[in-house]
Structure 1
Amino acid sequence: MSALPQKFQDWFTTKGWSIHPHQQKMLERADDPALLLIAPTGGGKTLSGFLPTLIDLADGDHQGMHTLYISPLKALAADIKRNLTTPVEEMGLPITIDERTGDTTQTRRKRQRADPPNIFLTTPESLALLVSYEDAPRMFKGLKRVVIDEIHALAESKRGDQMMLALARLQTLCPNLKRVGLSATVDDPAAIAHLMARHPDPCEILMADPGPAPDIQMLRTEEAPPWSGGGAAYAIHAVLEQVKQHNTTLIFHNTRAQAEIFFHNLWLANDESLPIGIHHGSLDREQRARVEAAMVRGDLRAIVCTGSLDLGIDWGDVDLVIQIGAPKNVKRLVQRIGRANHRYNAPSKALLVPANRFEVVECVAALDAVLAGDLDGEPRGAGPRDVLCQHILIVACAGPFDADRLYAEVTSAGAYSALSRSDFDACLDFCATGGYALRAYDKWQRLVQRPDGCWQLRDPRATRNIRMNIGTIQDKDTLKVRMRRNRGGKPLGEIEEGFAATLTPGDTFLIGGQIVKYEGLREMTVEVSRDAAKKPKIATFMGTKFATSTQLSARVQQMFTQESWPELPDHTAAWLSLQREVSQLPQPGRLLIESFPHDGREQTVVYGFAGRNGMQTLGLLLTKRMEELGLHPMGFVATDYALLIWGLDAVQDPGPLFDLAALQDGLEVWLAGNAVMKRTFRASATIAGLIERNSPQARKTGRQATFSSDILYDTLHKYEPDHLMMQITREEALRGLVDFGRIEEMMARIGNRIDHLHLPRVTPLAAPLFLEMGRVPVKGDAEERLLAQEAARLMEASGLAQITPPPADKPRWRVGY
């Protein structure tokens, strides 16, 4: 397939389009076993992936499913269906298109299985469920292509591992299946290609013209950012002014709670009543759908959002993206920038708004990385075994299987290509018996081996429970929020159980941009009513709290080597200059430690740049080491770049504190009895099928699931510490929650090159850490006033009082410098 048929050529002409070179190459290489296309946002990636399918189906000869499209977002699947329907209808093509997500009705699902559409749009979770059915061979009969959109987003999570295992199963059912991956932002194309390929076959990489560099700047306000915090309230008026000057603005935040707070403040300042919406994953599905529909129609001037709108949905006339807070990850920033000017060869326009003073430096480093095309990403390890255990159970639901053939199938998936047979057999044994310590319990005896050697479910009725628990996304233990029934019972979204437990009748909180009052809990549903209060409690949505990437941290440290910083605002450049004058700036390849007295305590600041989780873990380990050395630490606080420890005794020699072997030993002891391990165990045990969150009777609450998982953890820890689930738990904890790998990277980076300075007072770079610490106990209406007073006191103590904001007669805001 190489030439564009006349009907398609005519359609392109009526649209005023011409086929892009990479779209032409996708046609020419339509028969490649696997192909990864990397093209800029607006470059027609989706059409590139579907053009061979549309041409193949144009004659109407194909019956059943031809192409499977997998998307990480339900909304993205719906958007693709909408966009695909246009050329199909306008060219009169005999093609059926349908989507299946978690929101699809049961009636429609049955119809799809009985009579599959030619183009089927779905998510990794729905695909895993579909391959678990006995009739999967019939449903996927004739499948020729699979198109994976935004593959970079899936490659970074267990959802991607589950998807590739499901594709390995499909490849067994359809040996000639062709794979196509689409993405705009890939830091390591070869790694994604390895994931995409059917091992050991290669996956070719096709790079499109990247197009013009984005128009990205920092929004500079007259009022300097605060020394700490993440809300960027100081920039509300400047952001609102930008909204007024553009057609549609997406305002991205890193967490849902920050999005809610910012939306509330933005609405209070919205004197012209501009139509502004909010969109994040904790909102009710219907409310998200209404916002999405309004965006498509162009009814909204701005949308405050989170990662729920990161990916490639064409939301119409978006001409500006604003990122509130440092992006933490350059690849994520590029993805978000691409939502603006969703057209090929048109630069995307974006503004960065640092939430605090240090984030100004981080934002400038991120700007430089974007312009240099330097994307960041952490290397992915081997395929996780808890996902493999779930996949084995999924395969068993579809019918008896041969272990040798399944092992060959699993190792054809890139992430599992190095899986040893012994590790596979351990997962199979776990699925069959629960493992040595649990094999006496009937409920975990799930698989049996037949006389012919094949494995099957011991009780076929177990398929229902297994299917109800398919997926790798972990629940956040949330409760539904609805208006009180006498107000119509309208659903608003979800809040975390832990937050709900702190509420008493009359308390107010933010959800969906409105203030509501807690009325009570009825049948696991939080009932609320509207409230006119102006200062609510804030719902602490878990969301995602990103850590600054290793590459971005390195860029920040490299900036500290400069003699001056003309690219920084005056207030931030003066702050760094003063730090260099009274102490020194952290240097690449070295570790800066400052010690000084403050408030009657000895303070130690470690500038490790290991990301928030890594620095938090380092705080736990260092305070443990200080206890062992008799230094009497009293507490610590961590950010992405630094760690502040306070205690009774000064650190004289930091060398013994940073012995890697001692830190590793301390980590092992700490992990053994820590709640972090139990939380990690619960997540992995749920994915692996040891714990069922959902059952035909009722869904377990978070507390019930925690209780049962804690008992299991304690049992295995005592009787079989080397149980498969305990191994997986340790691997997951080290990789995720404690991020010890970043500490090891830090230790390798610094060696024994430690600069330890004994100073008489708080330093400029350390001052914001005291505000991080001080924010915890300060509550009530006086919070901002007390924080401002504390900030002024700290700044004066550290010599920062000399850094003054611009005169009041300057404009309130401007773009750039």
Structure 2
Amino acid sequence: MLEQADANALLLIAPTGGGKTLAGFMPSLAELADGMHEGLHTLYVSPLKALATDIRRNLTAPVTEMGLPIRIEDRSGDTTYTQKRRQRADPPHILLTTPESLALMLSYEDAPRIFAGLKRVIVDEIHALAESKRGDQLMLGLSRLQALVPELRRVGLSATVEDPSAIARFLARHPDPCQILYADPGPAPDIAMLETGIAPPWAGGGGRYAIPAVLDQVKRHKTTLIFHNTRAQAELFFHDLWLQNDEALPIGIHHGSLSREQRAKTEEAMVNGSLRAIVCTGSLDLGIDWGDVDLVIQVGAPKNVKRLVQRIGRANHRYNAPSKALLVPANRFEVVECVAALEAVKERDLDGDPRGPGPRDVLCQHILIRAASGPFRAEELYAEVKTVGGYADLSRGAFDRCLDFVATGGYALRAYDQWQRLIERDGLWSLRDPRGTQRIRQNVGTIMDTDLVKVRLKNRRGGTPLGEVEEGFAATLTPGDTFLIGGEIVRYENLREMVVEVTRRPEKPPKIATFMGTKFATSTQLSRRILQMFGQEDWPELPDATRDWLHLQRNKSRLPETDRILVESFPFLGREYTCVYGFAGRNAMQTLGLLMTAQMETAGLHPLGFVSTDYATLIWGLDRLEDPAPLFDGDDLRTAFETWLGANAVMKRTFKQSAVIAGLIDRQTRGQRRSGKQATFSSDILYDTLRRHDPGHLLLDITREEALKGLVDFGRIEELLTRTAGRIDHVVTDRPTPLAAPLFLEAGRVPVEGAGTERLLEDEAARLMEGAGLAITQEDARRWRVPF
């Protein structure tokens, strides 16, 4: 039985299937066995609603068999209003919930009564929460709980922790210590590349070429989880898999954009063992234990070793049995990444970036939640917040700026009543209008899946829910268009009250719904391993096709190195190309493309566009780059970045997200979710207003911090510049190099509107007019903008 010793916080690191969840609950079950405890005793928090449901099922069975007087319930966004009210009035002994539901419970004025008897908080899969703002929200919530119940004990559970001491600091009440327990890691996983007999394509991310081999593996195993990195890839793969499923094997699909009913149907089929395979995404990443899963297949490079280990652990979910997994690289370069990931898993070398300070937009939301539960003193709330590791260094001035923003909206907005939310009387802060509690509770959370609309089958009864698609995708549909959702081809009929109404049309070729989901970038650690592989003389561990490709690259150009930037220049089809290999991840390489093309425009090189992957950026234009060194001057890049960032759409998008989290913009009004267009319109106006009238506003500071580490990932560009220290290898060839060639097939090209486009327009217009026997001036060409 797991018992905490000297510290009030304990981190248990144990392999998947090692019984860590049961170990976390054993002290609670022992203390509750005599039936003497009244009210809530143990709070269990997980990142996924499905995981909480699974734990309730697995925990209830032995409790029922032993006849223990213990009531176990879960609470999430799927819990009915009636159940939630009953749980507040009469809490169960053990409550399983999510960070968002805990925040809502803490927003009620009776929170001190609800949590009065609480003894233990168990945070499962703590590594997953620590990587996002949901974790910061949870830890702020625990700081409030600890203030209500000072002797509260915290238990963190995880199988994949790259830096245990950092996670321990994240879990513990600062500056209290946290005890760390390590379980035997168990047998090494049985993991390999899937033998397909076919070389992967040069580009793309679907893995369709491997479907016959995947189906063969499904036939050989009881239950197979087939993981994908994005929801769109999962939908496409499931559709193609089903078309080639000649033996009609029962196969399901599971991801976060499907309706709750459809997810529940798939989960029930998994529990019953009636599915042979499930195509899925991160919705099944974590410690869910249902069905007899004996194989995991990862389609596409995992991008992150820790994520791969987590997914592998879904197979043979037993301590003494090695997990079995197969990797399917989606394209030729991903073969290299998959091999690097395999080696990292075998060496138990997990990746992860250091945690930065706690985000202030989450702190602003926490202040609002605290105000909803009743009046508070600023100094007491500040003391609570300082016990959270991420906010331990938060100055009183920074806290007061957040408090002022929550109370008034900040300098430029304090004249508007809608942002006058808090008032201070005799040292106590409270809501100016108590009716504001409903608005606060409707907008709790840090998950930003905001621009989604429901999809339902059209019929007289209101329609069966199928899931959600992005609002932007729905706006492109016209009646008759078809798309994929839940593996079905449906026909768009109309958009009514922000609901997409569809009918089934299996005979029609589909479009693909654009699910945002999470677009992973290759981790720094995995990128470093790939570069180290390039330093080898040969690669016997690689398939022949990939191995020959790398040898050809070395013969025609050279391979990228860890401490140098490789730049290639070559002509192709009347354009001049520059390929930069930075291995900084997709977001950073995209940002690098934007900055470099801006500098090339200034230098008169007439760039026309670029495309980026995790490892390289390919730029095309009208003039050859003779000397790349000036483009990598750190000061110039930073200046260009600051200039570009200020007015860029990335900033507006980031501002919108932080404004929603901080409570400046509502995601729901009077119980109705606002459309993405409505929220974007409001946020754009606010962003422009604040930039013009209050450039030092707190939310603008927050926006810049978030943009730097999020959508544009400038920190990894800084790391690239530091690592290479001006060392650049410039190779000039007469044709595309082997490593650059696949970039020509990549989607997501970004055009550059500038002098290069203008010159092409003028040249084409002149040729057109001359062919008709007419003369044309440059002004005519600019005015007419003749397409080319």
- Using the size of structure 1 for normalisation, the TM-score is 0.91
**Counterpart among 717, 720, 731 of residue 705 in structure 2:** 731
Alignment counterpart, residue 149 of structure 2, candidates 167, 174, 196: 174
Alignment match, 1:765: 739
Q: What residue number does 1:294 align with?
A: 269
**Which residue does the alignment assign to 1:589?**
563
Q: How many Å separate the matches in 1 of 2:414 and 2:749?
A: 49
AA of the residue aligned to 2:170: L
2:68 corresponds to 1:71: no
Please state if 1:621 is matched with 2:618: no
Look up the match of 1:237.
212
Equivalent in the alignment of 2:519: 545
Q: Contact 2:7–2:177 at 8 Å: present in 1 too?
A: no
CA deviations over 1:401-431 (Å, ceiling 9, x no partner)? 0111110100101111111111000000001
Q: Which whole-Å deviations, capped at 9, do the CAs of 1:601-642 have from their partners, x for residues lacking one?
A: 111000000000000000000001111111111110000000
Once residues 438 and 261 of structure 1 are traced to their aligned partners in structure 2, the CA distance between those partners, rounded to angstroms, is: 46
> Residue 71 of structure 2 contacts residue 94 of structure 2 at CA under 8 Å; is this kept in 1?
yes
Q: Residue 679 of structure 1 aligns to a residue in which SS?
A: helix
Counterpart of 1:459 (choices 407, 426, 433) is 433
Partner of 1:536: 510
Report if aligned partners of 1:168, 1:410 keep a CA contact under 8 Å in 2.
yes
Match of 1:612 in 2: 586
Distance 2:113 2:132 in 1: 30
Q: Is the 8 A contact 2:299 2:330 kept in 1?
A: yes
How many Å apart are 1:475 and its aligned residue? Answer: 2.6
Q: 1:35 aligns with which of 3, 6, 10?
A: 10
Structure 1 partner of 2:679: 705
Q: 2:349 aligns to what?
A: 374
Per-residue CA deviation, residues 484-520 of structure 1 (Å, 9 max, x unaligned), is 1248611100111111111111111100001011111
Residue pair 1:226, 1:356 contacting (<8 A) in 2 also: yes
Task: Identify which of 138, 141, 158 aligns with 1:183.
Answer: 158
Corresponding position: 1:257 with 2:239: no
Contact 2:611 2:749 in 1 (8 A): no
Which amino acid is 1:148 matched to?
V
Conserved? CA contact 1:37–1:206, under 8 Å = yes
Whole-Å separation in 1 of the counterparts to 2:6 and 2:120? 10
The SS at the match of 1:485 is coil
1:362 is matched with which residue?
A: 337
The CA distance in 2 between the partners of 1:718 and 1:301, in whole Å, is: 58
Match of 1:335 among 283, 301, 310: 310
**How far, CA to CA, are the matches of 1:177 and 1:685 in structure 2?**
33
Q: Which runs of 4+ in 1 moved over 6 A?
A: 774-777
1:642 aligned residue: 616
Query: Paired residue for 1:62, among 12, 16, 37?
Result: 37
Kept in 1, the 8 Å contact 2:458–2:501? The answer is yes
Q: Distance in 2 between the 1:773 and 1:464 partners? A: 44
How much has 1:223 moved relative to structure 2?
A: 1.4
TM-fit CA distance, 1:533: 2.7
Q: CA deviation at 1:270?
A: 0.5
The alpha-carbon deviation at position 535 of structure 1 amounts to 2.6
d(CA) in 2 for partners of 1:288 and 1:774? 31
User: Alignment identity in percent?
Assistant: 73
CA shift for structure 1 position 221: 1.5
1:270, 1:277 → 2: CA distance?
12
Change (3 A) 1:567 1:534: farther
Superposition deviation, residue 380 in structure 1: 1.7
Report the residue type matching 2:407 in the other structure.
A
Matched, 1:560 2:534: yes
Partner of 1:680: 654
Greater mean deviation of Cα atoms: 696-705 or 453-462: 696-705
Paired residues of 1:693 and 1:705 also in contact (CA < 8 A)? yes
Task: Spell out the pairing of 1:34-433 with structure 2 (5 A cutoff).
Answer: 34-433=9-408
| Inter-partner Cα distance in structure 1 for 2:728 and 2:322 | 44
The answer to whether the 8 Å contact 1:30/1:52 transfers is no
Equivalents in 1 of 2:428, 2:63: separation in Å? 45
Given that residues 610 and 749 in structure 2 are in contact (C-alpha distance below 8 angstroms), is that contact kept between their aligned partners in structure 1?
no
Local SS of the residue matching 1:518: strand
Three-state SS of the structure 2 residue aligned to 1:566 is coil
Normalising by structure 2, we get a TM-score of: 0.94
| Corresponding residue of 1:443 | 418
- Per the alignment, do residues 501 and 41 of structure 1 end up closer, same or farther by CA in structure 2, a change over 3 Å counting? same
Deviation, structure 1 residue 315: 1.6
Distance 1:498 1:255 in 2: 17
Asked if the contact 2:535–2:561 (Cα under 8 Å) also holds between the matched residues in 1, the reply is yes
What SS is found at the alignment partner of 1:319?
strand
Q: Which amino acid aligns with 1:496?
A: E
Of 719, 722, 725, which aligns to 1:751? 725
Q: 1:345, 1:124 → 2: CA distance?
A: 32
Aligned counterpart for 1:741 among listed residues 715, 719, 723: 715
Q: Which moved more, 1:530-539 or 1:136-145?
A: 530-539
- Give 2:689's match in structure 1, choosing from 688, 693, 715: 715
How far apart are 1:698 and its partner, in Å?
Answer: 3.0
> Of the candidates 482, 491, 495, which is equivalent to residue 456 of structure 2?
482
SS of residue paired to 1:424: helix
**How far did residue 439 of structure 1 move?**
0.6
Q: Residue in 1 aligned with 2:764?
A: none
Q: 2: CA distance between counterparts of 1:113 and 1:202?
A: 32
Measure how far apart 1:31 and its partner are. Answer: 6.5
Q: Any idea what SS the aligned residue of 2:623 has?
A: coil
The reply to whether residue 527 of structure 1 matches residue 501 of structure 2 is yes
Distance 1:188 1:634, change over 3 A: same
The RMSD of aligned alpha carbons is: 1.2
Q: Secondary structure at the match of 1:448?
A: strand
Partner of 2:307, secondary structure, is: helix
Read off the aligned partner of 2:439 and give its amino acid letter. Answer: N
Write the distance in 1 (CA, Å) between the matches of 2:269 and 2:97: 23
* Rounded Cα–Cα distance in structure 2 between residues aligned with 1:744 and 1:564: 31
Q: Look up the equivalent residue of 1:194 and give its one-letter code.
A: R
Aligned to 2:547: 573
Q: What residue in structure 2 maps to residue 505 of structure 1?
A: 479
Unaligned 5+ runs, structure 2: 752-788
Letter in 1 for 2:360: R
Q: Please report how far the alpha carbon of residue 532 of structure 1 lies from its aligned counterpart in structure 2 after TM superposition.
A: 2.5
Equivalent AA in structure 1 for residue 391 of structure 2: Y
Please tell me whether the aligned partners of residues 386 and 687 of structure 1 are also in contact (alpha carbons under 8 angstroms): yes
Tell me the distance in 2 between the aligned counterparts of 1:313 and 1:475.
23
SS in 1 for 2:24: helix
Secondary structure of 2:28 counterpart:
helix
Deviation of residue 773 (structure 1)?
A: 5.2
Contact 1:476–1:542 (CA under 8 A) maintained in structure 2: no
- Secondary structure of the equivalent of 2:293? coil
**Contact 1:31–1:178 (8 Å) recurs in 2:** no
> 1:714 is matched by which residue type in structure 2?
D
Count of matched residue pairs: 751
Check 1:529–1:775 CA distance in 2 against 1; reply closer, same or farther (3 A cut): farther
Cα distance between partner residues in 1 of 2:155 and 2:428: 33
Q: Which residue of 2 aligns with 1:815?
A: none
Secondary structure at the aligned position of 1:722 is classed as coil
2:606 and 2:246 map into 1 onto residues whose CA distance is 54
